[in-house]
Amino acid sequence: MSRMAKSDPSEILEPRENTYFTGHDAAESAFLNAWSGGRLAHAWLICGPRGIGKATLAYRIARFVLSQEQNAEATSDMFGAPPALSLQMSAEHPVFRRIASQGHGDFRAIERGWSDAKQTKRKTVITVDDVRGIGSFMTMTPSEGGWRVVLIDATDEMNTNAANAVLKVLEEPPKQAILLLLAHNPDRLLPTIKSRCRRLDLRPLQTDQVAALLNRYRPDLSPEDTRPLAVLSDGSIGRALELEEEGGVDLFRDLIALLSTAPQIDTSLMHAVSDRALRGDVFWTITGLLSWWLARLTIEAARGGLTDLEEVIPGERKLAEKLIGLAPPIAWAETWQYLGRISERTLAVHLDRKRSLLLILNAIQQAALGRSAA
Q: For the chain, which residues make up each domain, given as ranges?
A: 3-201, 246-368
Query: Is the model's pLDDT at 74 over the cut of 90?
Result: no
Among the residue ranges 53-57, 172-176, 212-216, 354-358, the one predicted with the least confidence is 172-176
Segment 223-246 shows an average pLDDT of 94
- Domain 3-201 carries which CATH code? 3.40.50.300
pLDDT at position 355 is 95
Q: For the segment 11-65, what is each residue's pLDDT rounded down to a tens digit? A: 778 999 999 898 899 999 999 999 988 889 999 999 999 999 999 999 999 999 9
pLDDT tens for residues 276-322? 988 888 999 999 999 999 999 999 888 877 777 788 999 999 999 99
The pLDDT value recorded for residue 62 is 96
What per-residue confidence (pLDDT) applies to 192? 96
The confidence score (pLDDT) of residue 56 equals 96
Is the pLDDT confidence value at 78 over 60? no
Mean pLDDT across 77-101:
80
250-284: string of b/e by CB count within 10 Å (b at 16+)?
A: ebbbbbbebbbbbbebeeebbeebbebbeeeebbe
- CB–CB of 88/60 below 8 Å? yes
pLDDT digits (tens, 9 = 90+) for 123-161: 889 999 999 999 999 999 888 878 999 999 989 999 999
Express each pLDDT in 239-275 by its tens digit: 999 999 999 999 999 999 999 999 999 999 999 999 9
Instruction: Work out the average pLDDT over 324-339.
Output: 94
User: Which pLDDT score, from 0 to 100, does residue 75 have?
Assistant: 44
In this structure, whether the domain defined by 246-368 belongs to CATH 3.40.50 is answered with no
pLDDT of 118 strictly over 80: no
